[in-house]
Amino acid sequence: MVGNSTIRRCLLVALLLGVIAALSYGRSAEGDVKPKGAGKGVVQVVPDFPISLPAGAMVPDVVVSPAVPPDVFVGRVMALTRTLQCPRCTGTGTKVTRHRDLTVARAVPTMRETREDCGACQGTGFSLSTARVSPVLNSFIPLLGSTDPDAPATAKLLDKARTALERLGCSGELVERVTATTRNGIKSGRSPQQGAPCSVTGELGQPIPIGGGTRLIPVKVSAHSMVFLRAPIVNAAPSGGMVLVGGIVAGAITKVEWQWGQAIVLDAGYIVALVVPEHKGPGVDADKDGVIDRPPAPTKPKRVGCGTPQLRTLRSRNPDVAHTHRSATRPTDLRL
């Protein structure tokens, strides 16, 4: 009798444990047991950039640019480099004024030279005229995709193009003015015309693979608009931050629904970092923010000419007074 009661107790305990285990498993499967950190007040972090394209998204076809001779490409690069310079100070950022001082006590004139920041470019050396820079930049962008990668001179040509574009990225106010129209249009939901050159500034994200070894470089223009650069010819992109991107408009990505709004694809373009312009004028910019902290130090006057300064007396413009003055200082010899 004692043995049967012990066996019954063991069976009841085992049955009870089985029921408890079954109930616990059912609650876990239904999601009643919340994971750690899923309580109230926890906000899910939304990514700033997409990591892939949605299923079914249609990417526009690649835009092919016609080939051009190398000399045409070099001419456009040189033209872009020249137009970036301030026409008043020729890119130096300094306005030089020379003054000629004439005194009674000195026979040799003294030249004074003053230096100050150029008023047209605020000492940066870059032009601030969009009418001067924008046409040259728009005519230069289509030539990037027309270079032959197998030509021996292509590497040198692209190095010159990269130097010119990096200077544009360091121009500060100029690059903001050049891209203002396109940036405002994209932010308002308008897509640039297909096949037209386009340049815009934005925040850089991580490349997205789309298959076939091709990647799209995302640049966020606003909270609801993005630009994707495909196969850039000049790629000087940093690891992150603000960049300047440009290329030929291939079109918008269709059949895509996501939180980033419209997505425009650019082909055969460029991407460079946006950098605060360096102050080239005589003014001192200690914190490197593009604003002059204090005016330039005064320069020492320069003296031109040779010989020892001698006393010079003023002469009147009256002929009679002048004749009397000459007669008194240098008597006329009347000997025959």
The 3 state secondary structure assigned to the chain is: CHHHHHHHHHHHHHHHHHHHHHHHHHHHHHCCCCCCCCCCCCCCCCCCCCCCCCCCCECCCCCCCCCCCHHHHHHHHHHHHHHHECCCCCCCCEEEEEEEECCCCCCCCEEEEEEEECCCCCCCCECCCHHHHHHHHHHHHHHHCCCCCCCCCHHHHHHHHHHHHHHHHCCCHHHHHHCHHHHHHHHCCCCCCCCCEEEEEEEECCCEEEECCEEEEEEEEECCEEEEEECCCEEECCCCEEEEEEEEEEEECECCCCCCCEEEEEEEEEEEECCCCCCCCCCECCCCCCCCCECCCCCCCEECCCCCCCCCCCCCCCHHHHHHHHHHHCCCCCCC
Q: State the Cα angle at 74 between 71 and 78, rounded to 5°.
A: 140
- Tens digits of per-residue pLDDT, 2-15? 456 677 777 776 77
Residue 36 clears pLDDT 50, i.e. is over it: no
Which pTM value belongs to this model? 0.68
- Tens digits of per-residue pLDDT, 241-296? 999 999 999 999 888 888 888 899 999 899 999 998 888 877 665 555 555 555 55
Which pLDDT value is given to residue 278? 82
Which pLDDT value is given to residue 325? 42
Of the ranges 18-27, 43-52, 113-122, 157-166, which is most confident? Answer: 157-166
- Tens digits of per-residue pLDDT, 306-323? 344 444 444 445 555 444
Which pLDDT value is given to residue 167? 92
- Tens digits of per-residue pLDDT, 98-115? 777 776 666 677 777 788
CB neighbour class for 265 (10 Å; exposed up to 12, middle 13-18, buried from 19): buried
Q: Which two tokens stand for residue 2?
A: 């004692």
Q: Average of pLDDT values for 206-234?
A: 89
Higher-pLDDT residue of 228 and 335 is: 228
Q: Average of pLDDT values for 34-54?
A: 59
